[in-house]
Every structure is written in C-alpha cells, then in structure tokens.
Amino acid sequence: MLTEGQKTQFDDIFESLGDSLDISQTQFEAAVRSYRAVGDWLSKPESSLAPYKPEIRPQGSFMLGTMIKPINEKDDIDIDLVCELAGKNPNWTQFDLKQKVGARIRDNETYREMLQKEGRRCWTLRYSDTANYHMDILPSLVCHGYGAVLEQAFSASSSGTSNYEQLAIRITDNLEPKYKIERNPDLWMKSNPFGYAQWFLLRASLGTARQLVMLSESVKPVPAYQKEKSPLQRVVQILKRHRDIMFNGNCDKPISIIITTLAAQAYQGETSVTETLQTVIAHMKDHIKDEYDPKSGRMVKVIANPVNPEENFADKWVEHPQRQTNFFRWLDAVRNDTYQIIQQRGLHVIAQAMKKPFGEHTVKDAFSSLADVSRTARESGALKMAAGTGILGSTGAIAAKTHNFHGKESE
C-alpha cells in the first residue's frame, strides 16, 4: 500500500511518462493543417463531391487523446480520419463512392504522389519523411447536418445522456460481397467511431464535468491540442507503450481498440494516474466474456464493442489464436512490471525499473522533464521534503536542497 506521498510521487512519474509519449503540439497542428487542406480540396466547387459537402474529421486515438509516438521517432505516426459525405448520387455503389474520393485526391498533383495503394476501407496519404505521418482517410456517408448532431450529442453527454446509434455512419469496404453493386447505403457496412468516442469520453470523465467539456473538443473538425489528459487517457497511453515495447512490431500484438475498450470498462473514476493504472490492469480481464460461437462450434472470447454489441473486437482470436495467447501474456507482464515499479523507492531506482518495460529513451525523457519541474520548484522554494519520509512535494517541513537529479547536491 502506497502512502499519500508515495502515490503523489508516482502520479508525477506516470504523468510525465504519458506526457513524453504525446506527439508535440507542433506535430499535432501540422497534421490538422494537412487534413484540413485535403478536406478543402475535396470540397472545392469544381469537385464532383462538392454537392455532398465533404468534411474531414479525426477518429481513433488522434480523436480520443490516446495517440503515442512510435518507438522509433523516425517511423510514421498513423492518423485515422473520416471523410464525411452528406449524401451521394443515387446510382453510386460503395465502389463508386470510394473511387470518386480517390479520383478527387489524385486530381491534386501533390496528393497524387503521396497516395498509396487502395486499402480495404481507406485511402492513405503518406507525407514526407520530415513530416513523419501518414493519413488513413475513410470515405463515409452521414446524415445531413451531421456536425450539428455530433455537437448536440456531446452537449447531451455533459448531462449523462447518450444515444450512440444516432452517430453511426455508413462506410465503404471492398471485402463486402455487394461492394460493387449495392446502391442502398442502408445496406452498407455500419461503423460508429464517434459513438465510440462519446462512450470513451464519458468513461474518461467519470465524476469530472470539466474534463468532459475539454474532451468533447476532440470531435471538432479542428480540435484544440490537449496538453492535459484525464487519468484514463494517460493510462491507455502507458499501456500501449508497454505493448509496443514488449512485442516490437509483432503483428499478433494486442490491438489498441481492445486495450482502450477494456481499460475504459475497468476504470472506476479514480483521479490518480497510479490508482487508475492499478485498477485497470487488475480488472481488464473481468470484461472479457466467454460465449458459444455457432460458426466454430466452441466457446470463444468476446470483447463487445460498447456502442455495437454485435461486434466482437476479439473475433480474430479464433482465426489467430496466438493473438489471444499474446493478450493474456501481455496483461500478466504489465501487471507484474507495474507491481515491481511501485515497490521501488528513489527516483534513480524507479527509473531503472521502468526502462525495460517502457523503453530507455522514453523513460529518460520522462525523468528529465520531471527533474526540470522539480528544479524549478526548488529554486522557487516551493518544493519541500516531509520530515522523516524522504518524499518530495509542494508541502512539508524541510526545504529541499537543490540537486541535479543524479543524486549530487548543488554546491
């Protein structure tokens, strides 16, 4: 059991770790400018898509505030986007709509060079090596006035009400049997990235209305950069980095949507990052169900999409059993690593314990940032050491001496 002082210290450490995993405000704003430019191109008056008012909006971790840098900072950041069209030509099939979006992107000489091979559901634009990001653009159909529907939905969320179904969209998927012939969008594949976002943000905001107002900013076409994160957002970032370090690019690693969903379900409204991390890793498995699957004729693991219970995020575990094995192996590892870390005392010892599970470079950045904050507090006289505990904080009986973080006092 941690004392309050120890918990505060670990909160600072894990908060700094999460902060070091964030993309920078410069990277964030560059990505927003890039996708807004794509949206402007799609909606120009001469575009065949212009009558349907194209809108580009972020989805996934970029929207949820749980995006993390890649382990190798030269690798691409993956930014997931939705291209919303408020209607279509009645004769367009899924294939036609997707090709219209792709053709309009190709009409731009710059984007033509960046456009990758067509994906199952998305078009991908790969930006330059200096930008270090690529964008997956999902063509979709939404109702007229969808932006207002979103705004109203998140406004209603602040009072605790929600209607996820109204936020569902129709998407293109080239593996659908009627991909090239079905013209009725009501029969196209349904997806609900914004309903999921509403659900996640409600979970992240348990007991904190101010957080909900801040988090709802993320569904806007041009969201503000979020420097501050809720404890749940920070924990999802930390869990994803542990996963990335442990599996080092293995395609059978636990997928982010499963980690994010189970973490949000296990969250119980803690305001401490440390307590949130402990609670989440202890209870994630409680939200994995065993159900009979008539297709395989056996019991399977089910992690239901909270805004579409018919969708099982773990459905690939049947076809790829190694993914199920790896998930539970990872959950055991992150639980054990977290336990070992919070048993340590002294910043240097804690930092050493964190390097293997979270990456030496990331941990070094996190503790350097923490040291800078502590140094500033010392120099202002705000940092105190509680008598008899050795725990640094803003209150205490003894003024702390200035040091250089490596253990040597300033002379």
**Token pair of 165, please?**
């179904």
What pTM was estimated for this model as a whole? 0.88
Locate the domains of the chain by residue range.
24-226, 347-399
**Token pair of 197, please?**
């976002």
Which pLDDT belongs to residue 251?
93
Which pLDDT belongs to residue 35?
93
Name 256's Cβ contacts closer than 8 Å, sequence gap at least 6: 61, 66, 240
Which pLDDT belongs to residue 296?
78
In which residue are the tokens 């505060």 written? Answer: 8
Which pLDDT belongs to residue 206?
78
Residues 208, 157 contacting (CB under 8 angstroms): no
**Fold of the CATH domain 24-226:** Beta Polymerase; domain 2 (3.30.460)
Please tell me the distance from the alpha carbon of residue 56 to that of residue 222, in angstroms, as a whole number.
9
**Token pair of 404, please?**
């250089």
Please tell me the distance from the alpha carbon of residue 389 to that of residue 174, in angstroms, as a whole number.
62
Which pLDDT belongs to residue 214?
58
Please tell me the distance from the alpha carbon of residue 235 to that of residue 270, in angstroms, as a whole number.
11
Which pLDDT belongs to residue 75?
83
Which pLDDT belongs to residue 404?
42
Which pLDDT belongs to residue 218?
65
Please tell me the distance from the alpha carbon of residue 176 to that of residue 193, in angstroms, as a whole number.
19
| Amino acid at residue number 40 | D
Q: For the chain, list residues with pLDDT below 70.
A: 156-161, 207-219, 377-411
Residues 79, 158 contacting (CB under 8 angstroms): no
**Token pair of 254, please?**
């636990």
384-385 β-sheet, strand order:
392-393, 384-385, 398-399
Please tell me the distance from the alpha carbon of residue 341 to that of residue 350, in angstroms, as a whole number.
6
| Amino acid at residue number 352 | Q
Length of the chain counted residue by residue: 411
Which pLDDT belongs to residue 309?
86
Which pLDDT belongs to residue 405?
38
